[in-house]
Amino acid sequence: MKDGMTNVLVVGVGGQGVILASNILCEVAVRAGMDVKKSEIHGMSQRGGVVSSHVRFGEKVLSPLIAAGQTDVILGFEAAEALRFAHEIREGGTLLASTQTIHPPKGPERKDSVKYPANPLEDAKGVCRGRVVPIETQKIALELGNPKVTNTILLGALSTSLDIDLEVWRETIKAMVPPKTIELNLQAFDRGRKAVEDAG
Amino acid sequence: MSVKETNKVLQFGNEAIAHGAREAGCYFAVAYPGTPSTEILEVFSTLPGIFAKWSPNEKVALEVGIGASLTGSRTLVTMKHVGVNVAMDPLMTFTYTGVRGGFVLVSADDPELHSSQNEQDNRMLGKFAKMPVFDPSDSQDAHDFAKLAFEVSERFNTPVMLRETTRIAHAKGLVELGEWAEPVRGENFVREINRFVMMPAFAKPRHTFAENRTLELKKFSNEWEGNRLELNDKKVGIITSGVAYNYIRELMPDASYLKVGMPWPFPDEKARKLAEHCDRVLVVEELEPFLEEEAKIAGIAVEGKAYFPREGELNLDKVAMGLHKAGLLDNAPQPITGAPVIARPPVLCAGCPHRGIYMALKKVNADVYGDIGCYTLAALPPLETLHTCFCMGASIGNAIGAKLNEQNPQHPQVAVIGDGTFFHSGMTGLLDAVTSDVNITIVIVDNDITAMTGGQENAGTGHDLMGNTVPTVQIEDVCTAMGIKHLTVADTYNYDKTVEQLKAAIEFDGPSVIIARKPCALFPKKKKIDPYVVLNDVCNGCGACFRIGCPAISNSGKTTEKGLTIAMIDPDACTGCTLCQQVCPVDAIVPMTREEVTA
């Protein structure tokens, strides 16, 4: 959060909801009265590729992309994807990542290719210049009885690292999720916050 | 007439262009889908009081757009950068005739080749075609320039190019929207033979008109405030345009700038003023040295591609590196390396109907001349059963040429082309195959939709962009009418039968066609039948299912007694297409029981 600019990188695998989460984050920032830019990189396939979404907000945003190693917060939807981008965290930044793992299809794997890491978020600690906070999104979602709230759990976690009024977050979530799921999503949001607080 | 209140909203560049065009009173929009341009028409089609349609290819779209403009309609035509190549023929002459209703062509360029076969810079095509080019730097520019482009088109009697890049099209920023003007729809076609019949005697004076128009547009470019001169620090002046402006401006906030919103005709007088104010002038732009060359032609000493790359997208780090090379930044940005991480190459989706035909093509070991679509992904492991890909519609011609020249044939010669691509520009290739009586097989993979760009309607879909029911064209009727004597329709979920049909088509003496028909697994609705499961105690770890490249099949982490990897099927991803079951030699893949599914 250098020079009043906040850089958030939302990463995961195509189909996980990375784009939706970054859209909600953008809306939160707009409602908080800031200038916002967002830019995505995703591969050619409709499903299963690496997705990363750059969100920048502050008084005036120029570049739609974050400079190398200048990310304040990474929100990782998948553990190996969090590892892939962990070095982008600036000194003192935060990597918030789901412990969920998604293995790529076996077919395209070559003998010499890198294997899926045994513990991606442990590896991330070796690369990341900031704090690494694993979040057991699947476990929390199961406790809440709905696998679809992973997204909101992670946004709750993210809210602990950003200087934006909690009311703005809650109002935006209320406005952007299906009406019947508002209560469930607000619970998920709080559980995401708690997960980070419990991690200390 | 509806009026929108002025407000700021977060929009993609493509949304902003659609809204800008609508505010300018654009009535008619036509396009062929192509990343990163597709969403412009999808958004425009939802706005009130307009008409929007897809055409079978970019050339037809442009010609339809010309017809609309000739009646007086304000017209928007959109396409990706390589689509403009297809539309170049009518475009080169339309710039001679000029317009009736305002005409804007959006060229969506793709530096970094996120989803394209090349990274051509269409500012050069705009100049070549003698049409003004606008180049937005963010969503607000995209909106404002789209609106202005219609005004410029009618004022100067010219089609206008609005050139954007992926980083504009698919990036969101805040946009202040304006009011919607009444859409301008043409009354009727007005005859004007000496302007619209471009035979030599009539075309010559139109060329003169176009050259004079460029001089007028140059005056406009030098006056227009969108070519923005910001005279600050005298040490260095920067000429820049497009998304690059944001990077350099963030890195050098105090420098002097010429932010070019209209690269062609180039605002040379403003560039000269910048050069007079500054000790040194740098040009920072993505891809070709377009502004740099224009400045040099105008006799202005500038530096550009000596420091900044000509390939790929720019970003803050690449621009900082360029500044360092130019001696304007003491410390070079240090590359930060991360951990080595698994690759996630693009693959055909679980349940993709293209998979079965490629398994069959692999079985018969064919040389496969490919085309543009999801099915191009078969070039990658583990299928690796597609051997060329040049442009839309190239497959059939490539196969004909190869077959006519091979002296020592090793493999069957097969062209693979999708339904959308066949309608786009495959039909003339098929005609050539028939009249050349060449012994090739043409596989038309027909999934009823243009899938790779997100599921757009085509001639076979049965409804249009606005949701109306429309007549469909049957591919087999087209093939039969053209004179194809051997034609079969394959169900690609039936592997053995597909192989049999493919072999019969290859054995046929003369051009043969197989239509591999099955709806797309994702569009318009995601396919879902009961999933399949691997029996761990039966799987022998042979890997046959891995080799079909299905993203639902992965390593279970368990091994057989011989230490071979046991497969696992993700029940959420599996669509129940059964292809893996069909290739499993030990019947280890079975349908999940109802109880397992609900658990």
CA closest to B548 among chain A residues: A107
Q: From CA A54, how far away is CA A51, in angstroms rounded? A: 10
Q: From CA B556, how far away is CA B534, in angstroms rounded? A: 10
Is the pLDDT score of B304 beyond 90? yes
Mutation target among A3, A31, A65, A83 for the B interface, most CBs of B within 10 A: A65
Q: From CA B168, how far away is CA B185, in angstroms rounded? A: 29
Taking each helix axis as running N to C, give the angle between helix A137-144 and helix A150-159, from 0 to 180 degrees, rounded to the nearest 10: 120
Is the pLDDT score of B3 beyond 50? no
- What pLDDT is attached to residue A41? 76
Q: Is A58 helix (H, G, I), strand (E, B) or coil?
A: strand
Q: Are B513 and B485 in contact (CB under 8 A)?
A: no
B171 chain-A contacts, CB cut-off 8 A: 37-40, 64
Q: From CA A61, how far away is CA A56, in angstroms rounded? A: 7
The predicted-structure confidence for B265-280, as pLDDT tens digits, reads as follows: 999 999 999 999 999 9
Q: From CA B139, how far away is CA B174, in angstroms rounded? A: 7
In this chain, the answer to whether the domains covering B8-223 and B228-325 adopt an identical fold is yes
Q: From CA B351, how far away is CA B468, in angstroms rounded? A: 29
Beta-carbon separation of A115 and B522 below 8 A: no
Query: How close does chain B come to A179, measured CA to CA in Å?
Result: 22
Is the pLDDT score of B347 beyond 90? no
Q: From CA A19, how far away is CA A15, in angstroms rounded? A: 9
Neighbouring residues of B325: CB distance < 8 A, sequence distance ≥ 6: B306, B307
CA distance between the termini of chain A:
21
CB pairs under 8 A between A and B: 165
Which pLDDT band holds residue A111 (cuts at 50, 70, 90)?
low
CA closest to A47 among chain B residues: B349
The predicted-structure confidence for B389-403, as pLDDT tens digits, reads as follows: 999 999 999 999 999
The predicted-structure confidence for B368-385, as pLDDT tens digits, reads as follows: 999 999 899 999 888 999
A87 chain-B contacts, CB cut-off 8 A: 336-339
What CATH number does the domain located at B8-223 have? 3.40.50.970
Sketch the domain layout of chain B as residue ranges.
8-223, 228-325, 354-517, 532-598
Flag the least confident range among B101-115, B137-151, B290-304, B513-527: B513-527
Question: Within an 8 Å CB–CB cutoff, is residue A175 touching chain B?
Answer: no
Provide the chain B residues 494-523 that lie in CB contact (below 8 A) with chain A: 522
Beta-carbon separation of A67 and B10 below 8 A: no
Mean pLDDT computed over B502-525: 93
Question: Within an 8 Å CB–CB cutoff, is residue B33 touching chain A?
Answer: no
Nearest CB partner across the interface for A63, out of B316, B338, B549: B316
A2 chain-B contacts, CB cut-off 8 A: none
Q: Which helix (H) or strand (E) holds B104?
A: strand B103-109
CA closest to A37 among chain B residues: B173
The predicted-structure confidence for B164-176, as pLDDT tens digits, reads as follows: 999 999 999 999 9
Pick B483 or A4 by higher pLDDT: B483
A123 chain-B contacts, CB cut-off 8 A: 339
- What pLDDT is attached to residue A62? 98
User: What are the angstrom distances between the C-alpha of B582 and each of A141, B349, B492, B539, B573?
Assistant: 36, 18, 12, 14, 18
Beta-carbon separation of B338 and A87 below 8 A: yes
Is the pLDDT score of A108 beyond 80? no
What is the number of other CB atoms lying within 10 angstroms of the CB of residue B296?
Answer: 14
The predicted-structure confidence for A142-171, as pLDDT tens digits, reads as follows: 999 988 899 999 999 999 999 999 999 999
**B532-598 CATH choice from 3.30.70.20, 3.50.50.60, 3.30.465.10, 1.10.10.10:** 3.30.70.20
- Chain length of chain B: 599
CA closest to B384 among chain A residues: A108
CA distance between the termini of chain B:
55
Beta-carbon separation of A39 and B344 below 8 A: no
Question: Within an 8 Å CB–CB cutoff, is residue A91 touching chain B?
Answer: no
Query: How close does chain B come to A191, measured CA to CA in Å?
Result: 25
Provide the chain B residues 337-376 that lie in CB contact (below 8 A) with chain A: 337-350, 374
Is the pLDDT score of B310 beyond 80? yes
Mean pLDDT computed over A78-99: 97
Question: Within an 8 Å CB–CB cutoff, is residue B560 touching chain A?
Answer: no
What CATH number does the domain located at B354-517 have? 3.40.50.970
- What pLDDT is attached to residue B551? 87
Nearest CB partner across the interface for B553, out of A35, A43, A106: A106
Is the pLDDT score of B581 beyond 50? yes
Neighbouring residues of B67: CB distance < 8 A, sequence distance ≥ 6: none
- Domains present along chain A, CATH in parentheses: 2-104+117-199 (3.40.920.10)
- Percent of the residues in chain B that have a pLDDT greater than 90, as a whole number: 86
Beta-carbon separation of B382 and A41 below 8 A: no
Beta-carbon separation of A84 and B338 below 8 A: yes
Query: How close does chain B come to A142, measured CA to CA in Å?
Result: 14
- What pLDDT is attached to residue A110? 59
Say what the alpha-carbon torsion angle B365, B371, B373, B376 is, to the nearest 10 degrees. 40
Beta-carbon separation of A45 and B316 below 8 A: no
Q: From CA A113, how far away is CA A122, in angstroms rounded? A: 20
Mean pLDDT computed over B113-123: 95
The predicted-structure confidence for B522-531, as pLDDT tens digits, reads as follows: 887 777 778 9
- What pLDDT is attached to residue B439? 97
- What pLDDT is attached to residue B457? 85
Question: Within an 8 Å CB–CB cutoff, is residue B173 touching chain A?
Answer: yes
Beta-carbon separation of B115 and A124 below 8 A: no
- What pLDDT is attached to residue A40? 87
Beta-carbon separation of A26 and B172 below 8 A: yes
Query: How close does chain A come to B51, measured CA to CA in Å?
Result: 29
- What pLDDT is attached to residue B44? 98
Question: Within an 8 Å CB–CB cutoff, is residue A131 touching chain B?
Answer: no
Mean pLDDT computed over A70-83: 97
Beta-carbon separation of A117 and B341 below 8 A: yes
Q: Are B567 and B534 in contact (CB under 8 A)?
A: yes
Mean pLDDT of chain A: 91
The predicted-structure confidence for A124-141, as pLDDT tens digits, reads as follows: 999 999 999 999 999 999
Which pLDDT band holds residue B462 (cuts at 50, 70, 90)?
confident
Question: Within an 8 Å CB–CB cutoff, is residue B317 touching chain A?
Answer: yes
Sign of CA dihedral A179, A184, A187, A192: negative
A84 chain-B contacts, CB cut-off 8 A: 338-339, 341
Listed residue (A88, A77, A79) closest to A118, CA to CA: A79
B174 chain-A contacts, CB cut-off 8 A: 30, 35-36
The predicted-structure confidence for A37-47, as pLDDT tens digits, reads as follows: 999 876 655 56
Helix, strand and coil content of chain B, in percent to the nearest 5, comes to 35, 20, 45
- Cis ω for the linkage preceding B253 (within 30 of 0): no
Q: Are B36 and B58 in contact (CB under 8 A)?
A: no
What is the number of other CB atoms lying within 10 angstroms of the CB of residue B188?
Answer: 7
Question: Within an 8 Å CB–CB cutoff, is residue A29 touching chain B?
Answer: no
And the tokens for B296? Answer: 């040099």
B550 chain-A contacts, CB cut-off 8 A: 105, 107
Listed residue (A122, A118, A150, A152) closest to A25, CA to CA: A152
The predicted-structure confidence for B203-221, as pLDDT tens digits, reads as follows: 999 999 999 999 999 999 9
Nearest CB partner across the interface for A50, out of B315, B344, B380: B344
Q: Are B583 and B546 in contact (CB under 8 A)?
A: no
And the tokens for B161? Answer: 């190019």
- What pLDDT is attached to residue B6? 39
Which pLDDT band holds residue B1 (cuts at 50, 70, 90)?
very low
A40 chain-B contacts, CB cut-off 8 A: 170-171
Mutation target among B116, B257, B344 for the A interface, most CBs of A within 10 A: B344
Q: Are B395 and B370 in contact (CB under 8 A)?
A: yes
What CATH number does the domain located at B228-325 have? 3.40.50.920
What is the number of other CB atoms lying within 10 angstroms of the CB of residue A161?
Answer: 22
Beta-carbon separation of B549 and A108 below 8 A: yes
Q: From CA B461, how far away is CA B420, in angstroms rounded? A: 10
Q: Are B485 and B437 in contact (CB under 8 A)?
A: no
The predicted-structure confidence for B88-116, as pLDDT tens digits, reads as follows: 999 999 999 999 999 999 999 999 999 89
Question: Within an 8 Å CB–CB cutoff, is residue B384 touching chain A?
Answer: no
Q: Are B339 and B363 in contact (CB under 8 A)?
A: no
Query: How close does chain A come to B387, measured CA to CA in Å?
Result: 17
Mutation target among A47, A123, A129, A132 for the B interface, most CBs of B within 10 A: A47
